[in-house]
A and B are shown apart, each in its own frame.
Chain A
Amino acid sequence: MGYIIHLIILCLLFAINAMSLNLLIGYTGLLFAASAAFAGIGAYTTVFLLKSTELGFFPAVIISMLVASVMATLLGLVLNKFRDDYFALVSVGFQVIVSTVFMYWVGFTRGPLGIPGIARPTLLGLDFSSNIMFLILVAIIASVVYLFIKFLIGSPFGRVLKAIRDNEEAIKVFGYNTYFFKLTILSLAAMLCALAGALYASYITYISPPVFYLFESILLISIVTFGGLGSLKGPVIGAVIMVLLPEALRFVGFPPEVAAQMRQAVFGLALILLMLYRPQGLVGEYKL
């Protein structure tokens, strides 16, 4: 039973990350490969604040989200000069550079030693050390994120995003400052990734640089594309499948080493089939 709670928490955390990435890829058409880097920024900043100041978890998370937002804006100034493939490539560059910083800025992150003993959040006397309480907390946060994104997409702001995705030149002609919109959505998505990262750190109580590497960013892109771009439920479904698939494979009897690889292989195959026959993903509305 406790194990099921563990799985649901992981699903929700990945769902938050996936939803934020969907904002970029599915709604704005920006293929972004640095979500793990921002999750890491959120995680490390939160943990740093928790360990060296008197701040509680939630104030620390909010500050780290702001830090992520600032960094995303700075990144966006460079990134927004590019389109499509090149946008993705520069975001990869940012991801790798940030990963290297995580590993070697030892004063801040303790490098390969990682940071153990991260505290669970407390809020107004409520302690979230037990997994059940943590699950409720994450479920509430995930729902809020979901509702927020739903509201955003339905708003005029969201319509501009979709227009950028479909034909950026066209709406520029209408006088929309697409540069500003892209910067804003990048910043927002980065904040959500940071939030997911901070929650992850608090849940596992241990972080180290490899958790936030390029590999994880690419995995997230796969999930979001698979689940369905440009839909609200798509990233959630993708996240659930990604977390549960290796468990299912373990049941079927694959030895653990092979199970992890099989998950990747199945995902790869599914992606190929999807792109061939259903490029909008399982429940998506946007065909790449």
Chain B
Amino acid sequence: MEIFVQLLLNGLIAGSLYSLLAIGFNLFYGTVKFFDLAFGTIALVGSYATLSFLKNLDLPLLISVMGGILVGAVLNVIIYKLVYVPIRARKGSNMVLLVTSLGVFTILQSLLAILFSSQFQTLRSAGYVPHIFHIYGASVTSVQVLMIALAVLVPIVMHFILKRTKFGRAVRAIGDNEEVASIVGINTSKVIGGVFFISAALSGLAGIMNGLDRGIEPYMGLALLLKGIIAAIVGGIGYLWGGVLGGFVLGLIENFGTWYLPSEWKDAIAFVVLIIFLIFRPRGILSK
């Protein structure tokens, strides 16, 4: 029983990270319909910014986290304005955008490695040990509980934004058909800028929580992105709650899967799941 609960918790913890990533990814992909390969690395930009605020400027945790998220989000908007707007203006295909995002990803990753070294670093201040809770004999830390809570709270907030605000309606309209949306008077450029901002903020939050729980290093951006994509596809790509569901499903499959298989196959399991879904149910679990 204890083992089952521990595995369940492990799955939820991993799943919460994937969900947060998937939410940001879905928001983005659902609106502009291309893969941004730099998505995971932007999460790291936020995390490293938080690290700097914490360690170099000695700011309190909450301020550092908010500052980090802001840095990542603003940077993403700047990149949008400088790079993606011109390409989209001349109707660049999805492949061009993908390869461009590859360039952004590469350059961000190398800059992070140069500035912060490729060593693994934790966002925790020295000596900080999180409180450990025990449930039915299994353990979970306060940071992890917070992650799981966020993975439930954030989509609720996002749901509200998307369904009840003008901005959210504009986002959905653009997602349905960008041309029509701009014809009816929506300032698509501004709204998409907002999408870039929010999705970077979400992924930044995910990255920072992960950094507090485990740690960060410059090369994990791609892995974060891929997990986010897999979670999004499994759950239902482009849909908010699809991302949440997909994230938790992926986390649970990975952890229960490695119970039966040697744990080194964990990453391969995730991709096998992806391919199975793409073949048999490409729209995901929660598709229309």
Please report A residues at the B interface, Cβ cutoff 8 Å.
Answer: 29, 31, 78, 81-82, 84-86, 88-90, 92-94, 96-97, 100-101, 103-104, 214-215, 218, 221-222, 225, 258, 261-265, 267-272, 274-276, 279, 287-288
The residue from A82, A92, A214, A225 contacting B99, defined by CB atoms under 8 A apart: A225
Residues of chain B within 8 A (CB-CB) of A85 are 34-35, 94, 98
Asked if B110 and A264 sit within 8 Å, CB to CB, the answer is yes
* Contact (A276, B87) CB under 8 Å given A100-B265, A261-B113: yes
Q: A86-B278, A89-B274, A100-B267 are in contact. Are A258 and B114 (CB under 8 A)?
A: yes
Q: Which residues of B contact A265 (CB under 8 A)?
A: 106-107, 110-111, 114
Contacts of A100 in B (CB 8 A): 264-265, 267-268
Report the interface size for chain B: residues with CB under 8 A from the other chain: 41
Report the separation of the CA atoms of residues A287 and B90 in the bound assembly, to the nearest whole angstrom. Answer: 13
Q: Which residues in A have their C-beta under 8 angstroms from that of B107? A: 264-265, 268-269, 272
Q: Give Cα A104–Cα B87 distance, bound, in whole angstroms.
A: 42
The reply to whether B264 and A276 contact each other, CB–CB distance below 8 Å, is no
Instruction: Indicate whether A104 sits within 8 Å of B95 (C-beta atoms), given known contacts A268-B103, A275-B103.
Output: no
- Residues from chain B with a CB closer than 8 A to the CB of A215 are 222
- Check if A261 sits within 8 Å of B268, measured CB to CB: no
Out of A29, A81, A222, A258, which one reaches B106, CB within 8 Å?
Answer: A222
A-B contacts at CB below 8 angstroms, number: 120
Could you tell me the distance in whole angstroms from the C-beta of B25 to the nearest C-beta in chain A? 12
Output the least CB separation between A35 and chain B (Å). 15
Chain B residue numbers with a CB within 8 Å of A274 are: 103
Q: For residue B86, which residues in chain A have a CB less than 8 angstroms away from its CB?
A: 276
Measured CB to CB, the closest approach of chain B to A54, in angstroms, equals 34
Cross-chain contact B103 with A269 (CB below 8 angstroms): yes
Out of B34, B102, B109, B279, name the residue touching A221 (CB < 8 Å): B102
Query: Is residue B196 contacting chain A, with contact meaning CB distance below 8 A?
Result: no
A276 touches B94 (CB 8 A): no
Distance A264 CA – B103 CA, assembled complex (angstroms): 9
Say yes or no: B222 contacts A288, CB within 8 Å. Answer: no
Measured between alpha carbons, how far is A228 from B102 in the docked complex, in Å? 16
The complex places the Cα of A262 from the Cα of B110 at a distance, in Å, of: 7
Give the CA-CA distance A222 to B99 in the complex, in Å.
8
Q: Are B102 and A104 in contact (CB under 8 A)?
A: no
Instruction: Give residues in B with beta carbon < 8 Å to A.
Output: 34-35, 83, 86-87, 92-96, 98-100, 102-111, 113-114, 222, 226, 229, 233, 262, 264-265, 267-268, 271-272, 274-275, 278-279, 282
CB-defined contacts of B109 to chain A, threshold 8 Å: 264, 268
Given the interface contacts A267-B106, A268-B105, does A288 sit within 8 Å of B96 by beta carbon? yes
Q: With A82-B278, A84-B94, A90-B275 in contact, do A104 and B104 touch (Cβ < 8 Å)?
A: no
Shortest Cβ gap from B164 to chain A (Å)? 31
- Chain A residue, CB-CB nearest to B274: A93
Contact A271 B274 (CB under 8 A): no
Contact assessment for A275 and B99 in the assembled complex, using a CB-CB cutoff below 8 Å: yes
Known contacts A264-B106, A264-B110; 20 additional CB pairs below 8 A are A84-B94, A89-B35, A89-B278, A97-B272, A101-B268, A221-B102, A225-B99, A258-B114, A261-B111, A265-B107, A265-B111, A267-B103, A267-B106, A268-B102, A268-B104, A268-B105, A271-B103, A272-B107, A279-B92, A288-B99
**Given A93-B271, A93-B275, A97-B271, are A88 and B98 also a contact pair (CB < 8 Å)?**
yes
* Given A218-B102, A265-B114, A275-B103: A104 touches B278 (CB 8 Å cut-off): no
> How far does the alpha carbon of A84 sit from the alpha carbon of B35 in the complex, in Å?
11
By the criterion CB–CB under 8 Å, are B95 and A288 in contact? Answer: yes
A31 touching B95, Cβ below 8 Å: yes
Other-chain residue from B83, B98, B274, B278 in contact with A31 (beta carbon distance below 8 A):
B98
A31, B279: Cα distance in complex, Å: 18
Q: Give the Cβ gap from A186 to chain B, nearest Cβ, in Å.
A: 16
Does the CB pair B229–A89 fall under 8 Å? yes
| Contact in complex: B102, A271 (CB < 8 Å) | yes
- How far is the CB of A185 from the nearest CB of chain B, in Å? 17
User: Could you say which residues of chain A place their CB within 8 Å of the CB of B104?
Assistant: 268, 272
What is the CB-to-nearest-CB distance from A249 to chain B, in angstroms, rounded to a whole number? Answer: 12
**Is the CB–CB distance between B279 and A104 below 8 Å?**
no
A-B contact pairs, 24 of them (CB 8 A): A78-B275, A81-B279, A82-B278, A84-B94, A85-B35, A86-B278, A96-B268, A97-B268, A100-B264, A101-B268, A222-B103, A225-B102, A262-B110, A264-B107, A265-B110, A268-B109, A272-B100, A272-B103, A275-B87, A275-B92, A275-B103, A276-B86, A279-B92, A288-B96
